[in-house]
Amino acid sequence: MRKTGAELAVHALEQLGVRFTFGIPGVHNTEIYDELNASKSITPVLVTHEGGGAFMADAVSRTSASIGTMVIVPAAGATHAASGIGEAFLDGIPMLVICGGIDRASDKSFQLHEMDQRAFIAALTKRTFLVASHEAVIPTLYEAFDVAQGGEPGPVFVEIPVNIQRFKSDIDAMPAYRAPAARTAPDADAIGRAVELLRQAKRPGLFVGWGAKGAAAELVQLAELMEAPVATTLQGLGVFPGDHPLHTGLAFGASAVPAGQNAFADCDLMLAIGTKFSELGTGFFFSAEVPKDLIHVDINPDSFNQNYSAREAIAGDAEMVATALLRSLGNDGGAGIRARGGAELRAGIAADKAAYRAEWRRHDSKGRVNPESFFTNLRAAMPDQSIFVVDDGNHTFLTAELLPIHNTNGFIGPTDFNCMGYAVPGAIGAKFANPDTPVAAIVGDGCFTMTCMEILTASRNNLGVVFYVFNDGALSQIAQAQQLVYNRTPCTGLEGLNLAGVALATGAHYLPLAGGDDGGEVMAEANRLAAASAQPVIVDVAIDYSRKSAYTKGAVRANAKRLPMRETLRFIGRIAARKITG
């Protein structure tokens, strides 16, 4: 049979269960877009910028069983998309990036978009491919999919030259996709040694990250069997239910809320699953004190013994390892590992959480919106299965500390790559993948301005996403640190943003939320508008950032510990001098 490379590529994507592609058509990929237009199972989505498209693809992978996929033009399309691809790479999110390429059959140089884009993108992907023939199109895309999903997931880049896309060639077959062999069971001896450590522990604790997402049910069983407090990384907030009485919140050291600090203060063993102990996850390293008895479980063995030494390291899929641990621990009903009084632990966590929220309620927000009030109303306004999307900034850690996440897919945001501009397109991608699920973005005004024109994509596709924009006129996370260290805040002012104008320009509804408003009523109206009109809603939140989150306070202290004494004294002297001189 004779097929174009574009026909072969779309056939492969259909076989792989791709539901959406994100990108912009151009000279080097119009053949693929023409074939996508005829597909009965794939919807090609036009975005306003490939960077936003990459964040949408990332969110599809995070919140659904379908892999997020891009179809982009070479050179500028790849460089524009690089931020979103990098976020997926460091966060362990599978993504297929299908990119057009120059005419490889031509003998001419200096073609439009000609550059070594595979070399450019290599550091942001698990692997890159160049399709060299029609026969290679389908097998290459199948292999790319397996690489993206296998081991620690991540993005994979596939360049399909325009000449292969356009022209027909004889091929023998269009094979169906066959999934790789089943996952390998974890090492039984390592499981046995870990179980013995767990039995000896008096005060075990669990620390879980995004890599444990597939083991959510097993983690609850493990925590209850051991009566162990559970802390999560930022990305892992949705992995363990935030309304469970053993859940303490983000982090477990000095950057944690009081529930996390107190429940883990005397921890003599930590079972860490699906986390790398990264800088952000640990509250900048110096905030986290990890006990010497550390059992570290991760699918990527390269994460072991990098920042904290493991007493026992188990490489493997989180669900399989957790199941094996439960099976072994359950042989005696867990009697050998219930050393801590469960009722006392749970009561302490509940009391600490209540006291922390009460402190926030007592804080005088001076006419602006108190964060505790905002998140209490937001949680009440949204069903348990809602998806919340954050960006990078003050709002991120306020959300982590004040908004309990009740479901596994309920929280996504940028973490290790920590890219601003994620939330708006990320929320749109989540809504594409989950059209019947309420989706709300919580985003700072600085992050919002980076990608807010993608709200056009939501309007064009009738997606009722609610965007809560924390509008305080500054890059507040940085400004707070600047004020502390420099006694001034250069280049962080964001005055002049007109959110009503953005709503008008992008086809969104607009609602203001001031300190004197009933937040619950405004949120109810936002949800009603989003559902009734199938259009996005921008809520302009006059947020109060005058009180710092526990994470921010802990991070400042942790970063101060990094400095040599000489530099610490220099910083203190500079701060004192500037406070005196104004």
How far does Cα 24 stand from its chain's mean position? 24
Please check the confidence at residue 319 and state whether its pLDDT lies above 90.
yes
| Mean pLDDT in residue range 14-26 | 97
CA–CA separation, 446 and 396 (whole Å): 13
Q: Of 389, 435, 441, 396, which Cα lies nearest the Cα of 410?
A: 389
pLDDT tens digits along 70-87: 999 999 999 999 999 999
pLDDT tens digits along 285-294: 777 789 999 9
| Mean pLDDT in residue range 232-248 | 95
How far does Cα 149 stand from its chain's mean position? 16
Structural domains present in the chain: 2-170 (3.40.50.970), 188-349 (3.40.50.1220), 364-546 (3.40.50.970)
CA–CA separation, 146 and 126 (whole Å): 11
| Mean pLDDT in residue range 266-284 | 91
pLDDT of residue 106: 80
| Mean pLDDT in residue range 244-267 | 94
pLDDT of residue 554: 82
Tokens representing residue 117 in the block: 């884009």
Please check the confidence at residue 507 and state whether its pLDDT lies above 70.
yes
Residue with tokens 């919002």: 448
pLDDT of residue 485: 67
Tokens representing residue 337 in the block: 């590992």
Q: Of 552, 234, 540, 544, which Cα lies nearest the Cα of 371?
A: 544
Give SS3 for 412: strand
pLDDT band at 492 (very low <50, low <70, confident <90, very high): confident
pLDDT of residue 563: 67
Please check the confidence at residue 259 and state whether its pLDDT lies above 60.
yes
Percent of the chain with pLDDT over 90: 79
CA–CA separation, 67 and 200 (whole Å): 42
pLDDT of residue 337: 61
How far does Cα 41 stand from its chain's mean position? 26
Please check the confidence at residue 336 and state whether its pLDDT lies above 60.
no
Percent of the chain with pLDDT over 70: 94
CA–CA separation, 334 and 416 (whole Å): 36
Gyration radius from the chain CA atoms = 25
* Sequence-ordered list of residues with C-beta below 8 angstroms from that of 324, at least 6 positions apart, any chain: 185, 186, 188, 191
The pTM of the full predicted model, rounded to 2 decimals, is 0.94
Give SS3 for 154: coil
pLDDT band at 104 (very low <50, low <70, confident <90, very high): confident
Dihedral sign for Cα atoms in the order 104, 106, 110, 112: negative
pLDDT band at 568 (very low <50, low <70, confident <90, very high): low
pLDDT of residue 134: 96
Tokens representing residue 70 in the block: 């891009």
Distances 394 to 131, 232, 399, 447, 544 between C-alpha atoms, Å: 44, 18, 9, 11, 11
Q: Of 264, 270, 274, 194, which Cα lies nearest the Cα of 238?
A: 274
Give me the phi and psi of 65, to 5 degrees please.
Answer: -85, -5
pLDDT tens digits along 163-187: 999 999 999 989 999 999 888 899 9
